[in-house]
Structure 1
Amino acid sequence: MATEATEEKKDAPQPGRVDKFFGMTENKTNWKREVLAGTTTFLAMAYILAVNPGILSIALTEAGVDAPNPGAVFTATALASALGCLVMGLWARYPIATAPGMGLNAFFAFTVVLTLGIPWQTALTGTLVSGVLFFILAVTGAREAIVNAIPTQLKLAVGAGIGLFIAFIGLKGGGIVVADPATLVSLGPFQGEGSSTVLLTVFGLLVTAVFMVLGWKGGVFYGMLATLVAGVLTGVIDLELAEGFTPNLDSFGAAFTGFEDAFTAHMIAVILTMLFVDFFDTAGTLFAVAGQAGLVKEDGKLPRAGRALATDSIATSAGAVLGTSTTTAYIESTAGVSVGGRTGLTAVTTGFWFVVSLVAFPVFGLFANNPAVTAPALIVVGVLMAKALGQIEWNKLEYAIPAFLIVIAMPLTYSISNGIALGLVFFPIMMTARGRWREVHPIAWVLMLASIGYFFFLTE
């Protein structure tokens, strides 16, 4: 009997080289399922190809400051995403896709360039430096020490706060929220001048929300597409908006021109903020997606975790050289995992589609050049990120107060770094008042002092 079983095993078809490399048989999947999963992930996150140029280029141009070419940002977004996906798939071999991070692109544009007045070239230099530092911290293990110094409650608050900040940007861009001299903000016009943009934004938000509730994997992207079609049919969107969005490499190497001003006090704060946010964003996404895919071991550890963390830093550095903000792991990867993605082939497939998207630039140009089309995507992404609020222990004020200050300060001060710094100042003090000062990591005290210095010396 044993001999027969052995012979049957020998006669069974052996996995091919691609199967062995990605471990498809081992993870009970196949190439068809992996390709489908990678395509699903791409559709779920394709909105970034329009939203990122809209934030880094078009929004800055409309604000009256020097900004990179939108076609260059689109190219950098596609190539940085593709590179990150390929490294993640071929080296770390995880079904996790990467792209310029939501929140960090808003921080780059609205805080660093608009508020601090730092040239976008220097901001790219800061992104490059943060990528290199992140790589060093990832491969040396120092990253874990810093991450562990910050309590989970504050990490959750940072993610939720960024979500509210992104949603606020979407509401503002779509005209639903407007400036008001008496109350600071007010509701946008639903009739008369400016109402067409507001109504199209509301339509897009409703359609996108319905798609998401129905469980469509590419709901955000399909919502943008439906809004675009509605805008064109009603005459709100001019097809000529796609002009000037041709892929190019005009921003390539701009990060190398800003080193002279890259290590000022403001830029050091910027780099540290980029590191801080990317630390938790990457780690949280990695464990969430890997956990859903069943790749987390019984001891709670991830195989090749160091490679996965280092992948983000490689993609961030490359993206900065190409001309875009911090590249990070995307939670939308869960869309691919939900349809069976389990190996790096899923990420490789997603990367392939990012390269292919370069020939579809007219469509993404129409997306990016109309805030009513991208605003619903920003608002819905904000909703998804705000889910972290439910995990915060609001009944413990030593956590609740600093967490709330982080969440509320980001949208109201239009700055991610302000929110983070405010929370880092209050957390050790609240823990001490509760008598739990022994539980505060020494690094947290250092971060508190650094945050105090930030408010007194780096804000105006």
Structure 2
Amino acid sequence: MQILERYFQLREHGTSVKTEVLAGLTTFLTMAYIIFVNPAILSQTGMDFNAVFVATCIAAALGTLVMGVVANYPIALAPGMGLNAYFTFAVVKGMGVPWQTALGAVFISGIIFVLVSSFKLRELIVNAIPYSLKLAISAGVGLFLAIIGLKGAGVITGSEATMVTLGNIHSPSTLLAVFGFLLIVVLEYRRVTGSIIIGVLAVTLLSVALGLSEFKGVFSMPPSIEPTFMQMDLASALNAGLVGVIFIFFFVDLFDTTGTLVGVAHRAGLLDKQGRLTRLKKALFADSTAIMAGGILGTSSVTAYVESAAGTAVGGRTGLTAVVVALLFIAALFLSPLAGTVPAYATAPALCYVAVLMARGLAEIDWDDLTESAPAVITAVGMPFTYSIADGIAFGFISYTVIKLLSGRYKDITPMVIVIAGLFTVKFAFFH
């Protein structure tokens, strides 16, 4: 205990081993849904479900462990919601890119993340992006998750006449998915720890009871990771046509991680007097390590999880919280039969609920300034309507630059925004 006390500086942070363990358990329960949802999403690319399950657990454990031991922050990492959807539906299914190539793009984005963090380009890029577009990107990813979740639940379906229409709402699976979403919302409102995982498991249990899905068990030895391990195709990922894909992996993860780190640290009182993270470089090292590990193991980009705030809310203040979460992800490796029992419509409510959380960023946009709100809306709605996070972000940067220039608001545009808008324009002109 004394070793833990000294290494993690528990007394200095006003916490204890007992509190940190409780915080770690709380954080894990709020984000454990990812061990079911991530394989369900990525397996639609043709990747082996069980191998992705193992990759998800190990990548999350590795990234979270490094965050705890090296950076000493109570922040957990796992494959990001939104990034896994982009990997599956935009890159592999949308562009026809083999999943091995997409994994290569993930790995390369991790290398870029390391370089950008090392040379302090991160601050330059993050600070240069307009606040309205940052909010819109988060909300747009949420809306993208919503349309995927609604489709997976059977609430909506394709239509030649109207593009999209109401699905078969009399279907038992659709009704269970709707119930799952409502259950998650109510439990979250009542501040029940692990509301998302409870919702997913409740729908799964009802599905098995009604004979809609097969119960495959709960515990077993971890399955093989061989089908996805070291399967990344770096040579193909360096193709000029995938530069935009690598950029989006990097770009979305950069904002997601930075925003989560600052937000969770602020809630936990871990920022310095200037509002900065004193060990930011170490925290970003943990994230970039996890991204590269994810590419090697066989999962989409790993990022910091906002659910870490649940752990800090019960007193988690140091990296010991993160270490506990990492150990629990390792323990979760023995739950592969349970993961295989969860049907797709049981994870759909989780996607829709995360969409609700992410969409609230739209409320902070300055709606009285059309030069800010119009590009923001274009960004947010562009993602679900084009079924592409990348295209939504591209529309946002290009429209922001053009609208500001034509409105005479030259001073609002930073050189970095112009460069990014220019790169996206070239992408549409020559590589789309």
Deviations 1:8-29 (A, max 9, x none): xxxxxxx922112111101111
Deviations 1:319-349 (A, max 9, x none): 1100001000000000111111000000000
1:252 counterpart (212, 229, 240): 229
User: What one-letter code is carried by the residue in structure 1 that aligns with 2:380?
Assistant: V
The equivalent residue for 2:187 is 211
The equivalent residue for 1:381 is 354
Equivalents in 1 of 2:202, 2:257: separation in Å?
A: 31
Deviates more, 1:239-248 or 1:106-115: 239-248
**For the structure 1 residues 180 and 117, does the alpha-carbon distance in structure 2 shift closer, same or farther, using more than 3 Å as the test?**
same
Could you tell me how far 1:42 is from its partner in structure 2? 0.5
Deviations 1:371-405 (A, max 9, x none): 11000000001111111111111211111111101
> What is the SS of the residue equivalent to 1:190?
coil
Normalised to the residue count of structure 1, the TM-score between the two structures is: 0.91
The equivalent residue for 2:333 is 358
Q: Map of 1:326-405 to 2, 5 A cutoff?
A: 326-367=301-342, 370-405=343-378
Could you tell me how far 1:236 is from its partner in structure 2? 1.7
**For the structure 1 residues 439 and 190, does the alpha-carbon distance in structure 2 shift closer, same or farther, using more than 3 Å as the test?**
closer
The equivalent residue for 1:8 is none
**1:448 aligned to 2:421?**
yes
The equivalent residue for 1:165 is 144
Equivalents in 2 of 1:112, 1:437: separation in Å?
A: 34
The equivalent residue for 1:10 is none
The equivalent residue for 1:180 is 159
Give the fraction of aligned pairs with identical amino acids, expressed as a percent: 45
**For the structure 1 residues 243 and 352, does the alpha-carbon distance in structure 2 shift closer, same or farther, using more than 3 Å as the test?**
closer
The equivalent residue for 2:281 is 306
Is residue 204–residue 372 contact of structure 1 (8 Å, CA) maintained in 2? no
User: What one-letter code is carried by the residue in structure 1 that aligns with 2:141?
Assistant: I
The equivalent residue for 1:9 is none
**1:75 aligned to 2:50?**
no
User: What one-letter code is carried by the residue in structure 2 that aligns with 1:47?
Assistant: Y
1:112 counterpart (91, 97, 105): 91
User: What one-letter code is carried by the residue in structure 2 that aligns with 1:443?
Assistant: M
Could you tell me how far 1:457 is from its partner in structure 2? 2.4
Deviates more, 1:231-240 or 1:337-346: 231-240
The equivalent residue for 1:198 is 174
Q: Map of 1:128-167 to 2, 5 A cutoff?
A: 128-167=107-146
Equivalents in 1 of 2:274, 2:169: separation in Å?
A: 55
**1:239 aligned to 2:239?**
no
Equivalents in 2 of 1:395, 1:389: separation in Å?
A: 13
Q: Map of 1:242-281 to 2, 5 A cutoff?
A: 247-250=223-226, 251-255=228-232, 258-281=233-256
The equivalent residue for 1:226 is 202
**1:96 aligned to 2:82?**
no
Equivalents in 2 of 1:242, 1:88: separation in Å?
A: 29
**For the structure 1 residues 232 and 207, does the alpha-carbon distance in structure 2 shift closer, same or farther, using more than 3 Å as the test?**
same
> What is the SS of the residue equivalent to 2:312?
helix
Unmatched runs of 5 consecutive residues or more in structure 2 = none
> What is the SS of the residue equivalent to 1:26?
coil
> What is the SS of the residue equivalent to 1:239?
coil
The equivalent residue for 1:317 is 292
Equivalents in 2 of 1:17, 1:328: separation in Å?
A: 29
> What is the SS of the residue equivalent to 2:164?
strand
Is residue 219–residue 338 contact of structure 2 (8 Å, CA) maintained in 1? no
Could you tell me how far 1:439 is from its partner in structure 2? 2.7
Unmatched runs of 5 consecutive residues or more in structure 1 = 1-14, 61-66
Is residue 49–residue 74 contact of structure 1 (8 Å, CA) maintained in 2? yes
Deviations 1:398-439 (A, max 9, x none): 111111011001011110000000001011122223322123
**For the structure 1 residues 443 and 245, does the alpha-carbon distance in structure 2 shift closer, same or farther, using more than 3 Å as the test?**
farther
Deviations 1:105-134 (A, max 9, x none): 111111110111111001101100000110
> What is the SS of the residue equivalent to 1:328?
strand
> What is the SS of the residue equivalent to 2:158?
strand
2:387 counterpart (414, 421, 438): 414
Q: Map of 1:34-73 to 2, 5 A cutoff?
A: 34-57=20-43, 59-60=44-45, 67-73=46-52
- Give 4+ residue runs of structure 1 displaced > 6 Å after superposition: 241-245
Could you tell me how far 1:247 is from its partner in structure 2? 2.1
Is residue 336–residue 346 contact of structure 1 (8 Å, CA) maintained in 2? yes
Is residue 222–residue 334 contact of structure 2 (8 Å, CA) maintained in 1? no
Equivalents in 1 of 2:402, 2:285: separation in Å?
A: 34
User: What one-letter code is carried by the residue in structure 2 that aligns with 1:341?
Assistant: G
Number of aligned residue pairs: 431
Equivalents in 2 of 1:361, 1:249: separation in Å?
A: 12
User: What one-letter code is carried by the residue in structure 2 that aligns with 1:421?
Assistant: A
User: What one-letter code is carried by the residue in structure 1 that aligns with 2:399?
Assistant: F
Is residue 242–residue 365 contact of structure 1 (8 Å, CA) maintained in 2? no
Equivalents in 1 of 2:427, 2:319: separation in Å?
A: 41
Equivalents in 1 of 2:222, 2:72: separation in Å?
A: 33
The equivalent residue for 2:260 is 285
Equivalents in 1 of 2:42, 2:165: separation in Å?
A: 25
1:31 counterpart (6, 9, 17): 17
